Amino acid sequence: MPPHTSHPLIAFEHSDFLVAIKPAGLSFHQEAGEAGFVEVLRQALGGMPLWPVHRLDKLTSGLLLFAKNAEAARYFGDAFAEHRINKYYLAISDKKPSKKQGWIKGAMEKGRGGSWRLSRDGELKAATQFFSYGDMLYGQRLFILRPLSGRTHQLRVALKSLGSPILGDERYGGTPADRGYLHAWALDFDYQGEQQRILLAPETGLAFQDLEAQLAKIAAPWNLPWPK
């Protein structure tokens, strides 16, 4: 679904919700006295009441869903809890993964300095499905990721566990770059009986500039043969 608004921070707007465009490098909430994306968006929209129903890491760009009223917020909260909202991400790594597609499963455990790691045992289970494509410039590889849970740093830890940390994600061993190469690419969900599919390619990042031909072949993430 193409953007339905000309506002630079909004990809799609409905009477009950909007899908915003978060830039890379901006925290979700206020950090160290600097306004976070939620505050920036509210100010840009003239103080409009907004209910964030999920979040993105500081390094991640892309689509974020906000409810415009409490009733819609409850609906989306339930929809996320019941896995009725599909999220798809793009990531780039310059390191070859241990496998090219499939599942990444484990339990999330806190490590040192705010980092996380995957383990076999634990209560915070995480599951991610992915495909990867290796015919990019400079030996880089594109990943399309579909998280089936919403753990902190889940996708970043998942790719590290494959031996392919995200380009620019130095916390998890990624090669330094002009940005962290993780982008919230698409959302797919039902709202009041109407299917909503919003897709937005990344707009910044030198390594993302090579994606046009790749993404044209894929067309849309919901068309891929994801495991049932």
DSSP 8-state assignment for residue 31? B
Mean pLDDT in the chain? 92
Q: Is 221 left (phi over 0), alpha (psi -120 to 50) or beta?
A: alpha
Which tokens go with 226? 């994801």
Alpha-carbon distance 221 to 228, whole Å? 15
Q: Which carries the bigger pLDDT value, residue 218 or residue 18?
A: 18
DSSP 8-state assignment for residue 218? H
The predicted pLDDT at position 4 comes to 52
The predicted pLDDT at position 113 comes to 84
Q: Each residue of 62-106: pLDDT tens digit?
A: 999 999 999 999 999 999 999 999 999 999 999 999 999 999 999
Q: Each residue of 134-187: pLDDT tens digit?
A: 878 788 999 999 999 989 899 999 999 999 999 999 999 999 999 999 999 999
The predicted pLDDT at position 63 comes to 98
Alpha-carbon distance 8 to 36, whole Å? 17
202 by DSSP, 3-state: which?
coil
Alpha-carbon distance 99 to 133, whole Å? 11
Active-site choice (57, 94, 169, 188): 57
Q: Which CATH number fits domain 10-223: 3.30.2350.10, 3.90.850.10, 3.30.70.890, 2.40.50.140?
A: 3.30.2350.10
Query: Of 15, 37, 18, nearest to 26 (Cα)?
Result: 37
| Catalytic residue flag (residue 57) | yes
pTM of the entire predicted model: 0.93
80 by DSSP, 3-state: which?
helix
Q: Each residue of 43-61: pLDDT tens digit?
A: 999 999 999 999 999 999 9
Alpha-carbon distance 31 to 17, whole Å? 25
- Examine the pLDDT at 211 and tell me if it is beyond 90: no
Tell the residue number behind the tokens 């707007």, with chain if given. 13
Show me where the domains of the chain are located. Answer: 10-223
